[in-house]
Amino acid sequence: MLMTYRMEQTMRWYGPKDPVSLQDIRQSGATGVVTALHHIPNGEVWSREEIIARKAQIEAAGLTWSVVESVPVHEQIKTRSGAFLQLIENYKQTLRNLAAEGVYTVCYNFMPILDWTRTNLEYLLPNGAKALLYEKKAVIAFDLFILQRPEARQEYSPEEIAATEIYYQNLSPESKQLILDNILKGLPGSEIGYTLEEFREMLQTYAGIDAKQLAEHLRLFLDAITPVAEEVGCFLCIHPDDPPFSLYGLPRVVSTAADARRILSQTPSVHNGLTFCTGSYGVRTDNDLPAMVREFGERIHFLHLRSTRRDEAGNFYEDNHLDGNVDMVAVIQEVLTWQEKRKKRIPMRPDHGHQILDDLNKKSANPGYTAIGRLKGLAELRGVEEALVWVANKK
């Protein structure tokens, strides 16, 4: 098969206060920007005026606004409580306004309360670089001894509880505070940060909502907004849970190939699709990522390419983009095949990056989103893509 389509190369940008500037992004070789109107409170309509202003800023730098990440889904929509019907109407209007200004790809997630979770934002690698780490003991320690969730002791094994108690007793007060901050204060892209008491109160809003019920709430939400996406030409792409398993008793419903299959089949419109995040899906041993791209490629509208390295204890860290447990070459090969079938470029961003070189001496406002680590990742991913295209076209 002659390959003529390349992935659309983008970088995430957190707006005017992001220490990584639009000029930095342009110098990286990316042509598109992935961003959102983070200053607008969750649930409010994004006005055309605000969208126009952000788009003009991006285009003045010689780039395009390729993907919205994210239009947040309000917690009341997820729990179908309070003003959820009005909040869904607000979401529809935001989709209309984005499409009216030529922004058609909309990423979102359906994770309850917490967005992506890590316990150490400066995990030191052997080469001196720093990465993001998820340590299971730290999560269990937070649940048992900081959050003190009543049901927690029934959800872990006696061996896990005993080992975690020793671990927690040996932590310094500063380390305990750091775990709390990293889990509750919100990471880049998170909708909001919480105090400990606020988090306890939010957990109560999910009382009685299990995975089956949350999956139904997601279906109802998609059935409500997908017709609007079809009408205006938007492509919705749901991001998987990160990490892809339950935390603090909260259900997760976008973690496996079976979850993706359910979401796509229940709302069978091409405008209802996936953000295929190799790092999130790749944490689970039961997710075969190349096979998932083969199966769902027609409905993958956005790519997050990164790799994680997991261990048998349930920990994982962000590895180099071409290392870890993700077969990135095989994933990109499947993506290229689908692009030819669809006659369409899929936007991709190198997701997360190590803190390396000069960025080690800078205070990172957005952990995982330093410039040089992502530039390294983008260069590696572009190299894989070009090599695969060259080989395919020489046959």
For residues 130 and 355, is the Cβ–Cβ distance under 8 A?
Answer: yes
Distance CA 328, CA 325 (A): 9
**Helix (H) or strand (E) segment spanning residue 97:** helix 84-100
Q: What is the dihedral of CA 300, 318, 73, 216, to 10 degrees?
A: 70
Distance CA 116, CA 88 (A): 23
Instruction: Note the residue count of the chain.
Output: 395
Tell me whether strands 272-277 and 235-239 are parallel, antiparallel or unpaired: parallel
Q: Which amino acid is at 215?
A: A
Which residues have a Cβ under 8 Å from the Cβ of 271 and sit 6 or more positions away? 226, 229, 230, 234, 235, 236
Would you please indicate which residues are annotated as catalytic (active-site) residues? 239, 277, 304, 351-352, 369
Distance CA 391, CA 395 (A): 7
Q: Which amino acid is at 137?
A: K
The single-letter DSSP state of residue 248 is T
Distances (CA, A) of 273 to 104, 262, 366: 13, 11, 27
Which residues have a Cβ under 8 Å from the Cβ of 27 and sit 6 or more positions away? none
Residue 370 tokens, joined:
């330093």
Residue 105 tokens, joined:
């790809």
Backbone Cα Rg of the chain: 20
